Amino acid sequence: GRRVTVRDIAAAKERREKWPMLTAYDALTARIFDEAGIPVLLVGDTAAEVVFGHDSTVPVTVDDLLPLAAAVVRGSKRAMVVADLPFGSYQAGAPQALAAAARFVKEAGAHAVKLEGGRRVVPQVAAIVAAGIPVIGHLGLTPQSVNTLGGYRVQGRGSAGEELLKDAKALEAAGAFAVVLECVPEDLAARVTASLSISTIGIGGGNRTDAQVLVWQDMAGLTPRTAKFVKKYADLAGLLEEAARTYADEVVSGVYPAAEHSYR
Ligand code: KIV
Ligand code: NA
């Protein structure tokens, strides 16, 4: 089988077929999500938080994310792998953005990149797309701007919704093939979805977007606190803690390793 491409994503929009996206940061989980049929995997800059233990996405670098993106590419067969351009790797302008995007494609084998912002990043999006690298935009709650937004809160209410729609149209005109809409009113997300020919990917944007994305540790119940928009599909934290406790007990009591785990 071949990888999912931007043409498959465009065809899904035409057929009004919704699709799921998950983050991935390592080869083993990438393989599981790939085999589960997730068509697009995002090596998110949320790795800053869920992999590296920072309290925002701001500190993570291209050098931090490159090996994770390479691992996700190696672990998957069918999914399109999208790499997030981290804070500080594209804001300076188109040449800087293209250099960062090209590293993800050349050094990690990523198939597309994602960056945050609307009209202010149009030159960056256009330059990356012109170089032959597909781009996803990201509007609404853009966590790299947490210090400007004043926290993690719903975006695009009232007249800010009109501005967000203009940003979405600017990203489409610049050549982006999709746009993430994070933490925005569902009516706004629906309106943007209906106004664009490219795909919208919601996270906290209601169920009228073309696709959905979640951080996998959130949807699998590994992270302690999550936003209202997260649905927990498993309790991995509970399962893992229980497994670790049982392992510890069995080592202390001598139950593990048993004969079948030993060589004679
Ligand atoms: O970094 C990330 O995980 C993301 C998604 C939540 C959209 O940008
Ligand atoms: Na991100």
Question: To which residue do tokens 């057929």 refer?
Answer: 15
**ipTM of the complex, rounded to two decimals:** 0.99
- Residues 14, 107, 182, 241: which is the catalytic one? 182
- The verdict on the CB of residue 140 being under 6 Å from ligand 1 is no
- The verdict on the CB of residue 85 being under 6 Å from ligand 1 is no
> Is 116 labelled a binding residue?
yes
Nearest protein Cα to ligand 1, atom 1: 44
Using DSSP, state whether 51 is helix, strand or coil. Answer: coil
What pLDDT was estimated at residue 124?
Answer: 99
Residue to probe by mutation, ligand 1, list 40, 46, 85, most atoms within 8 Å of CB: 46
Nearest protein Cα to ligand 1, atom 2: 44
Q: For residue 105, give the amino acid letter.
A: V
The rounded Å distance from CA 162 to ligand 1 centre is: 23
Query: Is CATH 3.20.20.60 what the domain over 6-233 is classified as, yes or no?
Result: yes
pTM of the full predicted structure? 0.98
Instruction: Spell out the domain ranges in the chain.
Output: 6-233, 235-264
What pLDDT was estimated at residue 1?
Answer: 72
The rounded Å distance from CA 251 to ligand 1 centre is: 39
What pLDDT was estimated at residue 89?
Answer: 98
* pLDDT tens track, the chain, 264 positions: 799 999 999 999 999 999 999 999 999 999 999 999 999 999 999 999 999 999 999 999 999 999 999 999 999 999 999 999 999 999 999 999 999 999 999 999 999 999 999 999 999 999 999 999 999 999 999 999 999 999 899 999 999 999 999 999 999 999 999 999 999 999 999 999 999 999 999 999 999 999 999 999 999 999 999 999 999 999 999 999 999 999 999 999 999 999 999 999
CB 223, CB 215: distance < 8 Å: yes
Count Cβ atoms below 10 Å from residue 247 Cβ, excluding itself: 12
CB 81, CB 110: distance < 8 Å: yes
C-alpha distances in angstroms, 129 versus 37, 52, 70? Answer: 27, 30, 21
Q: 242 catalytic, yes or no?
A: no
> Is 18 labelled a binding residue?
no
What pLDDT was estimated at residue 190?
Answer: 98
> Is 84 labelled a binding residue?
yes
C-alpha distances in angstroms, 29 versus 76, 104, 209, 220, 259? Answer: 9, 19, 25, 11, 31
> Is 45 labelled a binding residue?
yes
* Ligand 1 atom showing the smallest separation from residue 114 Cα: 8
Ligand at minimal distance from the CA of 23 is 1
The secondary structure element, H or E, covering residue 126 is: helix 122-130
Question: To which residue do tokens 């009109």 refer?
Answer: 162
